[in-house]
Amino acid sequence: MNISSLGSLVAEDTWQNQYSNTGRFALFFTVVVVAFVLLNIWRAEKGGRQGKDLYIRRIPGLNAIDEAVGRATEMGRPVVMVPGIPSNVDAIVMQALKIFAYVTRVAANFGNPILVCCAYAPVYTVATEMMRDVYQREGLGDKFDPDSVRFISDRQFAFAAGVSGLMLREQAAAVFLMGDFFAESLIFAETANGIGAIQVASSTQNTQTPFFIAACDYVLIGDEFYAASAYLTRQPVLVGSLIGQDWCKMVVGTLVFIGMALNGVQRGFLDRPTISSAMQDGHMKPLDKPHPIGKKETTMAYLFSPQSEPDLAGVNHRGKYPPEELPESDDKVTNWK
């Protein structure tokens, strides 16, 4: 028996029913996710034409944006925005800049100055173009000040010191902290708190969220940060995607409870059921001797725990193929025995 024929035999025998066991469920769930998202995008577009927006629960931190910018305008003091300390231009940075674009639009219409502080040069470039584009779309392109977007430093605490000093000198009336923050989070929050600024913050780092909660007026927690762009812009694609994902979360939660109940019934709350057949190498085969069902023999275990990829050494250890049937060779395959 040569290597290719033995490998084909093992793979065919082990994986023949693997798709039936787990692949179809994954495909079905993917179709459900896509269907939910597309259906809600259609609902959002239809509702927008009819003047009926889909419901998204109120997020206090985002509702406070107009209040914060209006207060800064009344006081004649700038709005400071910090998109965290990223290591690259990723989805978190772009989400923060989208929120800042909305803040900038409100500030531009009020005629209020803005300051965007960046710790990463590529983010500085992207932020400059996004803020300039906001002013141009509002018909205020000549009012945009390139110095309103600043690169401070790419060193963590040098950046923290620079931004804190800027807040103190400019006496910012509103501060928005969105994105990846680390040990400098409390420095920013306490500095803004000390000058009496309204603060709206959100960090994707779970370890920093408690500091923002302690020192800031409003905090976006968890998915609220990622839902902000849909909440603020009400674009049908964003709103539909957001609601479709929420539907999927409800389905997942329901499946978790169903799986818990099914697993509990199969394993027995009092008396564990006895099984006479079990999955072996991708096939349901009768057992030589019935035994109580194990945790890896339940329906949920078969559904979510696909068998590992077969390897010749593992098959040989199981004793399915005797050593004399393995191919002889003078190179690396000799260690299969």
| CATH number of the domain located at residue range(s) 60-233 in this protein | 3.40.50
37-51, 78-92, 184-198: least confident range: 37-51
pTM comes to: 0.74
Residue with the bigger pLDDT between 320 and 254: it is 254
Model confidence at 49, in pLDDT bands (50, 70, 90)?
confident
100: nearest Cα among 210, 202, 212, 204: 202
19-28, 33-42, 66-75, 241-250: least confident range: 19-28
Helix axes of 60-75 and 91-110: crossing angle, nearest 10 degrees:
40
> In the chain, what are the domain boundaries?
1-53+234-269+280-337, 60-233
Contact 108, 135 (CB under 8 A): yes
Q: How many CB atoms lie within 10 A of CB 39?
A: 14
* The pLDDT of residue 159 is above 50: yes
CA–CA dist 67, 83 (Å, integer): 20
Residue with the bigger pLDDT between 302 and 133: it is 133
* The pLDDT of residue 323 is above 90: no
What pLDDT, on the 0 to 100 scale, is given for residue 17?
Answer: 52
Mean per-residue pLDDT, 156-168:
96
Secondary structure of 91-130 in the HEC alphabet?
Answer: HHHHHHHHHHHHHHHHHHHHCCCEEEEECCHHHHHHHHHH
Condensed to tens digits (0 to 9), the pLDDT of residues 139-150 reads 999 999 999 999
Average pLDDT, the chain: 82
